[in-house]
Amino acid sequence: MDATCKQWVQDLEKRLESFRVSVVARGSRRIYVDVAPQYSREANRILFEEFEGRLATATGMDTPLRIEVLYHYCLDTDGIVVTLRTWTDKDQCELDSVATLFEGANFIEREIHDLLGVRFRHHPDPRRLILADNWPEGVYPLRRDFATRRDRTETPEFLRELTREVTTP
């Protein structure tokens, strides 16, 4: 990890200390911060306002135990991407919206709502954005239990072996 990245890691650890986060650098330009959902909005505010990060996007991800939302901030002056990872459980599926802090998060959160069903509390405009008007309510295409024509929710062991053989040059 180079010196600039190390400095950012230290600054982040210091500033976000009260949220009991974990800050991990991978490579020289990528930092991952895990922050509990109750602190997510405040951590986002700190990254946007105090660290002058630019929200590139947010990734929603359905994992076996929970639904994660990763907010990716670019620190353009040093070419570093800081990812704030937070989570919510699948049943309640709610997080505080960041769109009330700055407009850039508006569309980004609406997309995660459409595709994963995460509800963002106090979002100024929680309408459907990218799914069709006649798309059924409550069906979220990026959830693991949503099947498309190529039904693949698990990768069978034999297929893993097969594709390894085929793709190795």
Min separation Cβ 18 and another protein, Å? 26
In sequence order, which ranges of 23-156 are alpha helices (DSSP H)?
37-45, 105-116
Q: Which residues pair with 81 in a beta bridge?
A: 30, 74
Q: How far apart are CA 159 and CA 37, in angstroms?
A: 37
Min separation Cβ 2 and another protein, Å? 13
Identify residues 46-65 at the interface with another protein (CB under 8 A).
54-57, 59, 61
Identify residues 110-169 at the interface with another protein (CB under 8 A).
111, 115, 128-135, 141-142, 146, 148-150, 152, 155, 160, 163-164, 167-169
Instruction: Name which position in 20, 26, 121, 122 contacts another protein (CB under 8 A).
Output: 26
Side-chain half-sphere CA neighbours of 25 within 13 A:
17
Q: Which is nearer to another protein, 18 or 88 (CB)?
A: 88
User: Which residues 6+ apart lie within 8 Å of 1 measured at CB?
Assistant: 9, 25, 27, 28
First to last CA, the chain: 31
From 14-22, 33-41, 70-78, 86-94, give the range in contact with another protein by CB under 8 A. 70-78
Q: How far apart are CA 81 and CA 9, in angstroms?
A: 11
Residues that bind another protein (CB under 8 A): 26-27, 29-30, 32, 54-57, 59, 61, 70, 72, 74, 76-81, 83, 102-108, 111, 115, 128-135, 141-142, 146, 148-150, 152, 155, 160, 163-164, 167-169
